[in-house]
A and B are shown apart, each in its own frame.
Chain A
């Protein structure tokens, strides 16, 4: 049977795992090993070797990210911070909720080890507001950990101390951007910050800070406990470990599964998600959430590896796919996405704040039958304008352009049919199942 460390405590009924059950199943062994038998440098080395890459969407090597945190004297006086990015809001993404609601201790253990590695003394879980169950689970789990000596002073009898807090957010997708998240955690407007300096050097309250995705952190103590080689061996392809993959849309069995990295798209879609609903055909899919480029049937046999999906013209993102079927209007879908991103813009930089509503307006015109032939050129121009990281202050708007850009590539005739026919062909009854 495949080793699935992340969901080993998560049963089909999704009953939350309490501390006793978690410990019984080997919980906090990784922490004990790290904190009593390994130096922070050892831990960092092991995470680096494991080739763990960030599970939040960007896929940045976790060990490398941590290695930028100044250690010892270099850090200067004051706190260092570890933050779990639990602000899961990427459209079509539903994996961190599962991890937090069903196995809160796994996240906490991962966080303590991560914090120990970078020698952070304060940790936050930045949780989206609507995850009430997760908040209850996490708060209870943290309280249990303080009681048990996994948090607070002298953790497991060592000199190491760590405080951990849950911050329940107040909405806004942009808080998922790590520097916007930091601003929000400081009680400010969640405008992303200019980089450099990166949070590793100047983050929360201007102090060294690491922000990692929930799923990323859930892996840490498993790596420490079982070794980098073990972790690497979990992946089927180039990337290490397992990952929570999900499928939503018109499939028979939408859901979320822990599978080896490198699992082919087709297997995820056809085996785990049960294939398309009867009467629906696949037209394309966003491989990792709402801000990734469309891929099509031609890409079904690709393994879900960061670089492979990247080379195919998209991104693995969060690994939760959204399926476009043949009865759903691609223009409408892209319009939904662009309107979403326009609404979620923080309002800081022009291409995002004003460019996205502009694109949304053009898409709305096209979708509602008011498009003009030159609108395609306008959209192309906007996609160029907004679409490159560096053109904008953060990655939100370029992410929004990914589905639009690729939709214009793969579904161009749909756009043209809207414009020429002056209506949305998918609204006709024969196109409804």
Chain B
């Protein structure tokens, strides 16, 4: 603690912070641009100037920059002194010399940090009489709009894009007042985090293109605290709605989870809620195979007509549905008839991860804890593509070396440019063993491409190094043995080592090897961190629901169906054709008499249904998700459900009522489902704390979804009817469809504070600048380090013998394209490109194929796939993109023979060069 004096008033602040941080933390206003709480200081904009006095006698003082000045005990400053105010108002006037003042047509208008700071710094009259400089804008892809004339040259974009996120295709160009921020030529920004530029840019240079194309001002957006459903990390979001449509997704600060940043899949992938594929009404299949729309009660009626007929009912849940919906489905049909919606292979992987996390002495870290790691091993995971936001945190972790070096010469963690200069390319160690190159290779000390089983062997060898009591790794050649020793030594040297693995290899031994390394590292001095990347938003939730082990596998259900044991199969929010080969799923569905599918979007499974029920998405419903950290988080509906649709759990509650499965009305309210779920499942006992229930009131009021300036509410539907509809009443959540009330920090539907209209206002809701929100980090951790793994056995199964010259199918995940829901967003679909098959050049030569040729994967019913050579792919492997049309029947771990396709024509002429990650390198 240090006592500083600001305009004569004494304040206690945190020693070593910079003054700007300290001042904002005190609740005082000081304008700034280039400083960013997550990116530190560089001193470029000079906007946060204050006067510093040498001592009590000093009355003149000198101008210093708040962001560049460490606070020290006894330091004296003036914010409001004339010199400081004049300086700041001149800075903003200078910054605005070339600004186009096009606020009315700017997508940033109304939430523009530049607007706010202009007012705050006191610039009103414009004195400059010269001409304004102008720039040409660039096409930057489907996500980001570029309007360089608005630029105030704060350098935040390149600092975020390059320094923070590791991008390379955005740079500061030219110089002086002609400085330009862009690409070398027009083209799609390659970074998976480019969308953050929308929020990082203090004005409207980089704006959300999907929003710009269908624009609404921030003050007209209705929002709710939400959680991204496009991967298992559970980043907190604020989706914004107008006229019933999702307009954009903004980051919702959660110190422990996503901090200030989202990945682009999260930011743009939520748009599937606007899809044409949404179901509007319940549908009954007719004899002519078309569906007839019916009312909700009729649909329920029809389901119950054929419900059991004396035979069994089974249900398949979903790792992308809420815990509540899954719980109620399980309860409705009984645990013995409920499959969590995973293929048997998938379930085995996720279930073992779940068990490991619950038993291991290692800590399952939050992403902010990941950033503290001082040595990292990534085992078998292409993190940027399987858990994108985690990759951004890993990128920060390697900078701990710079912080450590800085400490030695008295540099603070926020002195960003100085630390980068000092450290150069010296990073904390990070090692990657994966099947191919990954987007984190640039920060890795060493990388190695191996087939999944070999990754597991390497992992076991590392564990053996750390725990010599166990046997050494089997079957490792010497270079790998050496690598294992190097990695083991680096991990051992670390205070907070981190092992990252997951389901990305679809290989159990890899998962187990990672656990053994983390376990071996954990001792009295140190708790190792063990982070598993999981495939879907509620993968872990599903596993915890089935933790008792009493569930039927999909194979078992198929068997039951085949033997006529299943009358009704209820499938909830699940495209089963992603869970197995077409033949397997068809066999299952063919065997049931009545197929009921509840889902938000049309799908191949849904098209097989006898009765289809339209489900609400995250956008219209409430739910709890367990992220890969083991944190239960609650999302809340942004808009009320549309007529005809309801949340899956509501369909099930109604069905259960009708069937007498429980006391009628037992699950009228969401909170009842949550609390019963918590009561019935010990590992989930804490989920009631994931967020406040519907009784929550802040100063007697519910939390508003609409900002104070929300306009036109009474006239919004005037083109339809002049009668003003009554505002919907929300009896289920702590939120209301109103403008009245405050924003409690854990339930922020938007970030807004007087004078701070942009998301920069979030510091007003934090306990300290960049620290947790005042009410703590939203969500509740369900999994903490356990007693230790009892079963440390991990064995690499002997490789399946393939035909000579056969290739091992290995899964490759793609941030855009592999995930089911996000790819329904047009912008994401545009980036996804077509299916392909990756080969090592040596294998390609053997097969006589070249880049761009077609490849037939023998014995498997699949279209020919475009060959992409990748010299970083493990030799003998064939990588296929998970979740892409054309690869559904490819199964990871299978050995296949391949041959060149005759008469090959690519599916689409423009399929090439859409995503940089799929290119062999180079930018042109």
Contacts and interface: CB of A to CB of B under 8 A. Distances in A.
B95 A354 contact: yes
Contacts, number: 113
A365 B129 CA distance: 9
A355 interface: yes
B87 interface: yes
Contacts of A348: 44, 155
Kindly name the residue among B127, B410, B411, B421 whose own CB sees the greatest number of chain A CB atoms within 10 A: B421
A349 B46 contact: yes
Given A358-B97, A378-B127, A391-B49, A350 B63 contact: no
Interface in B231-247: none
Interface stretch (A30-38, A189-197, A267-275, A406-414): A189-197
A392 B46 contact: yes
B87 A385 contact: yes
Contact of A351 (B94, B175, B179): B94
Interface in B74-101: 86-87, 90-91, 94-95, 97-98
Contacts of A205: 424
A197 B98 contact: no
A385 B415 CA distance: 24
Contacts of A168: none
Given A351-B94, A354-B98, A388-B62, A344 B128 contact: no
B172 interface: yes
Interface string A350-389: 1101110110011001000000000000100110110010
Contacts of B179: 347, 353
A194 B172 contact: no
Given A350-B46, A353-B153, A197 B418 contact: yes
B42 interface: yes
B130 A349 contact: no
Interface in A177-218: 189, 193-194, 196-197, 201-202, 205-206
Given A206-B424, A378-B127, A357 B86 contact: no
Given A347-B176, A354-B95, A206 B421 contact: yes
Nearest to B420: A206
Nearest to B94: A354
Nearest to B42: A194
B408 to A, nearest CB: 9
A248 B221 CA distance: 65
A344 B94 CA distance: 17
B658 to A, nearest CB: 68
Question: Size class of A's contact patch?
Answer: 35 or more
B170 to A, nearest CB: 14
B105 interface: no
A350 B49 contact: no
Most-contacted residue by chain B among A197, A353, A381, A391 (CB, 10 A) = A353
A391 B94 CA distance: 13
B806 to A, nearest CB: 48
B64 interface: yes
A362 B97 CA distance: 13
A393 interface: yes
B128 A347 contact: no
Given A202-B418, A347-B153, A342 B176 contact: yes
A345 interface: yes
Contacts of A390: 62-64
A346 interface: yes
Contacts of B62: 388, 390
Contacts of A423: none
Interface residues of B, number: 42
Nearest to A357: B177
A393 B34 CA distance: 13
Nearest to A382: B90
Nearest to A391: B63
A189 B46 CA distance: 20
Contacts of B95: 350, 354
A381 B86 contact: yes
A349 B42 CA distance: 10
Contact of A355 (B45, B94, B172, B424): B94
Contact of A350 (B68, B94, B128): B94
B418 A196 contact: yes
B43 interface: yes
Contact of A393 (B44, B90, B172): B44
A391 B176 contact: no
B799 to A, nearest CB: 44
Contact of B409 (A193, A202, A351, A381): A202
A345 B175 contact: yes
A189 B129 CA distance: 31
B715 interface: no
A300 B816 CA distance: 73
Contacts of B415: 194
Contacts of B174: 347
A78 to B, nearest CB: 10
B277 interface: no
Interface string B255-290: 000000000000000000000000000000000000
B176 A202 contact: no
A343 interface: yes
B130 to A, nearest CB: 4
B679 interface: no
Nearest to A183: B421
Contact of B46 (A194, A202, A391): A391
Contact of A358 (B49, B130, B411): B130
Nearest to B154: A350
Interface string B34-49: 0000000011111101
Interface string B421-432: 111100000000
A56 B426 CA distance: 33
Contacts of A384: 86
Contact of B91 (A201, A346, A350, A365): A350
A354 B422 contact: no
Nearest to A172: B175
Contacts of A355: 90, 94
Contacts of A362: 129
Contacts of A357: 97, 130, 176-177
Interface string B164-200: 0000000010111111000000000000000000000
Contacts of B68: 194
B489 interface: no
B177 A345 contact: yes
A346 B91 CA distance: 17
A205 B405 CA distance: 14
Nearest to A359: B94
Interface string A254-284: 0000000000000000000000000000000
A230 B87 CA distance: 48
A196 B98 CA distance: 31
Nearest to A202: B422
Nearest to A207: B424
Nearest to A364: B130
B718 interface: no
Given A206-B421, A353-B153, A381-B90, A358 B45 contact: no
Q: Which 5 A-B pairs have the closest CB atoms?
A: A361-B130, A354-B94, A347-B179, A345-B176, A347-B175
24 contacts: A194-B418, A196-B418, A197-B409, A197-B411, A205-B424, A206-B421, A345-B175, A347-B174, A347-B177, A347-B178, A348-B44, A349-B45, A351-B94, A353-B153, A354-B177, A355-B94, A361-B130, A362-B129, A384-B86, A385-B90, A385-B94, A388-B62, A388-B63, A391-B46
Interface of B: 42-47, 49, 62-64, 68, 86-87, 90-91, 94-95, 97-98, 127-130, 153, 155, 172, 174-179, 409-411, 415, 417-418, 421-424
Interface of A: 172, 189, 193-194, 196-197, 201-202, 205-206, 342-351, 353-355, 357-358, 361-362, 365, 378, 381-382, 384-385, 388, 390-393
Given A206-B423, A206-B424, A354-B97, 7 more contacts: A342-B176, A344-B176, A347-B179, A348-B155, A350-B47, A358-B128, A385-B87
